[in-house]
Amino acid sequence: MTDNETRADYDSPWKEAISVYFQLFLAFFFPQVHDGIDWERGYEFLDQEFQKIVREAETGRQTCDRLVKVWLRNGQETWFLIHIEVQSQPESEFAERMYVYNSLIYIRYRQKVLSLAVLADEQKSWRPTEYSYDILGGQVVLKFPTVKLLDYTAKTLAESTNPFAVIVAAHRETQKTRQDPDSRYQGKLRIVKNLYQQGYERQDILEVFRLIDWMMTLPASLEENFTREIQRYEEENQMPYVTSVERLGIEQGRYEKSIEAILEVLRVRFATIPEELTAALALLKEETILTDLLRRAITVSDLAAFQEEVHSLLRDRSQEVG
């Protein structure tokens, strides 16, 4: 990342958004799939099982992938699995990985699997929709429905009342302003104000704002200006939502979710996590450090080595303060 580039986190907000608004996610991006599901039966995220499958795939990759158990609306006792992947960069092996995950999920559950892809990159021509190969008269084919964020016009996003319209707008604005924090500041203001103008309920405004805030990071000085401007806007419109007590807790909540993500990876890999390590992680508030530690939690060879890295970070910080 260059000195002028404003850091952004795409995967974490998308994963959280799908968790919070799964039904609306399908309604916005894959309406035909949405209409075929029996929502009265509920649904279940299979995160821990999916992490095991990802390790078996040996792709070396952990991003915004979700595995969800749902029921068909066909009057029969039929459930199936939806594998969702949000891909922020073009990747030559993407379609093959979709096939590998689909196959491993089927092997694990012996149930039908539907793979869906949200292409969130900036290359218009990159549109994988299937993986196939032929050998000696035999053929293997996996076709997976995809949507491309670039295909959604600003008018369509502005007119929609689905929270994912706002999330798509935030994602695209974040990409466009990668090296322009001032423009990102203006774009973030515009998108957040649109939350109020669209008539969202208070809780949805708070939830979607948290996701936008997570994705559209700003330098500290611009973040302060942003908070003041939103507070002024709320006062003018008598809508004290985001700058209320909940707004003050968003940053702390983001840190807590980052720490919990690290601990969840460690639990899956090493089972028991010492209380000392949990307490040590709670002392690390810097988002960039927590992001790096999440990557290390995925790849580190053993728990002791990870603990030593955390303690080393705390020692370094103590020396800086001293």
pLDDT in tens, 165-192: 999 999 999 999 988 999 999 999 999 9
Q: Is residue 20 domain-resident?
A: no
Q: Which two tokens stand for residue 53?
A: 């499958």
Query: Which of 97, 130, 150 marks a domain boundary?
Result: 150
164 and 134 in one domain? no
* More confidently predicted of 236 and 131: 131
Burial string for 14-26 (b: 16+ CB within 10 Å, else e) reads bbbbbeebbebbb
Statement to judge: residues 83 and 141 lie in one domain: yes
**Residue 71 forms part of a structural domain:** yes
Q: What is the pLDDT of residue 169?
A: 95
Kindly state whether residue 191 falls inside one of the protein's structural domains: yes
* Edge-to-edge strand ranges of the sheet holding 64-71: 44-45, 64-71, 79-87, 113-119, 146-148
Query: Rounded to a whole number, what is the largest CA-CA distance in the chain?
Result: 71
User: Quick one: 204 and 264 in the same domain?
Assistant: no
Whether 1 has a pLDDT exceeding 50, the answer reads: no
pLDDT at 321: 44
Domain identity same for 98 and 171: no
> Could you say which of 248, 278, 301 is where a domain stops?
248
DSSP state of 198: T
What is the DSSP-derived secondary structure letter of residue 149?
A: G
Question: What is the structure's pLDDT at 174?
Answer: 94
pLDDT at 98: 92
Are 219 and 163 within one domain? yes
In a domain, 115, yes or no: yes
Does the pLDDT at position 22 exceed 90?
A: yes
pLDDT of residue 320: 53
Same domain, 59 and 46: yes
Q: Point out the domain boundary residue: 248, 266, 297.
A: 248
Q: Is the pLDDT of residue 124 over 80?
A: yes
Both tokens assigned to 172: 């695209």
Q: What is the pLDDT of residue 252?
A: 58
- Statement to judge: residues 214 and 258 lie in one domain: no
User: How many independent structural domains does the chain possess?
Assistant: 3
State the residue range of the domain holding 101: 36-150
- Quick check: 18 and 66 in contact, CB under 8 A? yes
CA 279, CA 275: separation in Å to the nearest integer? 6
Say whether pLDDT at 13 is over 90.
no
Q: What is the pLDDT of residue 21?
A: 92
- What per-residue confidence (pLDDT) applies to 114? 95
Query: What pLDDT, on a 0 to 100 scale, did the predictor assign at position 319?
Result: 56
pLDDT in tens, 210-237: 888 888 988 888 888 888 888 888 888 8
Does the pLDDT of residue 4 top 70, yes or no?
Answer: no
- The answer as to whether 176 is a domain residue is yes
| Model pLDDT, residue 125 | 94
SS3 101: helix
Question: For the chain, what is the mean pLDDT?
Answer: 84
Is 184 inside any structural domain?
A: yes
CB 297: neighbour CB atoms within 10 A?
A: 23
Query: Are 144 and 128 part of one and the same domain?
Result: yes
Residues 74 and 162 in one domain: no
Closest by alpha carbon to 19, among 47, 50, 48? 47
Give pLDDT, residue 2: 44
* Pair (144, 160) in one structural domain: no
pLDDT over 60 at 35, yes or no: yes
pLDDT-derived band at 322 (thresholds 50, 70, 90) equals very low
The answer to whether residue 22 sits within a structural domain is no
Same-domain pairing of 181 and 254: no
Q: Where do the H-state alpha helices sit in 149-302?
A: 154-159, 163-176, 181-197, 202-215, 220-237, 245-270, 275-282, 287-299
Most confident of 5-9, 145-149, 231-235, 312-316: 145-149
168 and 104 within one domain? no
Among 160-164, 194-198, 270-274, name the most confident range: 160-164
Decide if 13 is inside a domain: no
Cα dist. 18→26, 125, 268 in Å? 9, 26, 21
